[in-house]
Amino acid sequence: MSIPVPDSSVPRLLGFDVPTLQTIVDHGEDEAIVAMLDVVPDAHWLKLFDERVAALKGELGLAGVELDGTSILFFGSIADSRRLATAVSALINAINMEVAGHTDPFQPTAP
C-alpha cells in the first residue's frame, strides 16, 4: 500500500496566526490575521487567488488582503475568526483543486 505524495506545486494551509481582533480596523496599525502556507504560490495560483479573493473580501467584510511569500494577511474587523478560517481554507483548497484540474472555478458560499 502506498501513501500518495502531496503535490508540492500548490500551497497547503499550515494554520493561522490570529491576533486580538479590534472593533475598528486601522489597516496601517492593526495586526493581520495570517494564513500560513507551506510553499510560495506560483504565478498561476496567485492569478486564481487574485481573481477570487475579492468575493471573499466582500462576503466577510475584510478591509484588505495581502500576500507576502508564504503568508496571506487578512485585515478586517471580522468578529468571527473561525468563519474566516473556514472560508480561507475552502478558497485555498478550491484553487488547489482547480490548478490540479479536478473542479470547476471557486464560487463563494452564501452567508
For residue 22, the model assigns a pLDDT of 59
Q: Is 51 a domain residue?
A: yes
Domain holding 57, by residue range, is: 13-99
- Residue 106 within a domain: no
Q: Residue 62's domain is classified under what CATH number?
A: 3.30.1360
Per-residue pLDDT of the chain (111 residues; tens, 9 = 90+): 433 445 567 899 999 988 766 566 555 566 788 999 999 999 999 999 999 998 888 888 788 899 999 999 988 766 677 888 889 999 999 999 988 886 555 555 544
In a domain, 3, yes or no: no
Give exposure, 43-81, as e/b (b: 16+ Cβ within 10 Å). Answer: eebeebbeebbeebbeebebeebebeeeebebbbebeee
**Total domains present in the chain:** 1
19 within a domain of the structure (yes/no): yes
DSSP-derived secondary structure for 8-53: TTS--EEEEE-----SS--TTTSPPEEEEESS---HHHHHHHHHHH
The whole-number pLDDT of residue 90 equals: 92
* Assigned domain for 59 exists: yes
Give the global pTM.
Answer: 0.74
